[in-house]
Amino acid sequence: MLEQARQRLPIPQADAPQIELIQADLLDLSGLPPAQLVISWRFLHLLDPELLTPALRSLTGCLTADGLLVVQAYHPRSNWRRFSGRLLRFFSTHLTGRRATPTTAAWAHIRSFLHSQSQLHASFVASGLQIRSQTRLFASWDFDCWAYSLERA
């Protein structure tokens, strides 16, 4: 996957910022030079809740003093929102006569965790981070997808 990302990078220009893609152990990033921008996309939901704060601390350690950490996270929706969504799906499939075809996603064997917003925000604070901006990217029946721009507190 890293090689595919490298192939998609634009050809560097003389005045363009340097982009470096690396593969590393998330909990041991001590040997890496500090960066002005660190992006962790579609990854935090794969971390067990006990690893969330140590992982964010490790990413924070990779930032320059004025660096920015950008992360994407999935948050579970409230029980009422999930229930109402399922109820709506039930009635829409039964009223229209259309049935959803069951599919098995290629990643169904991978365990994932929906961290609550309060849990994630507490991990940000425990990691020495503060939210610079946050944006809800989209909502599904069961979760909301958010992007956060974080800086050192």
pLDDT band at 58 (very low <50, low <70, confident <90, very high): very high
Instruction: Please determine, for residue 77, whether its predicted confidence score (pLDDT) is greater than 60.
Output: yes
Residue 147 φ/ψ, nearest 5 degrees? -115, 135
Of 81 and 96, more confident: 96
In tens, the pLDDT along 112-128 reads: 888 999 999 999 999 99
Contact 36, 68 (CB under 8 A): yes
Instruction: Please determine, for residue 89, whether its predicted confidence score (pLDDT) is greater than 60.
Output: yes
Of 16 and 139, more confident: 139
Q: What is the pLDDT of residue 139?
A: 87
Instruction: Please determine, for residue 134, whether its predicted confidence score (pLDDT) is greater than 80.
Output: yes
Whole-angstrom Cα distance, residue 5 to residue 41?
13
Q: Which of 131, 111, 112, 136 is nearest to 121 (CA)?
A: 131
The pTM assigned to this predicted structure is 0.79
Q: What letter does residue 41 receive in the DSSP assignment?
A: -
> Of 14-18, 19-23, 67-71, 83-87, where does mean pLDDT reach its minimum?
83-87
Task: Give the H/E segment covering residue 113.
Answer: none
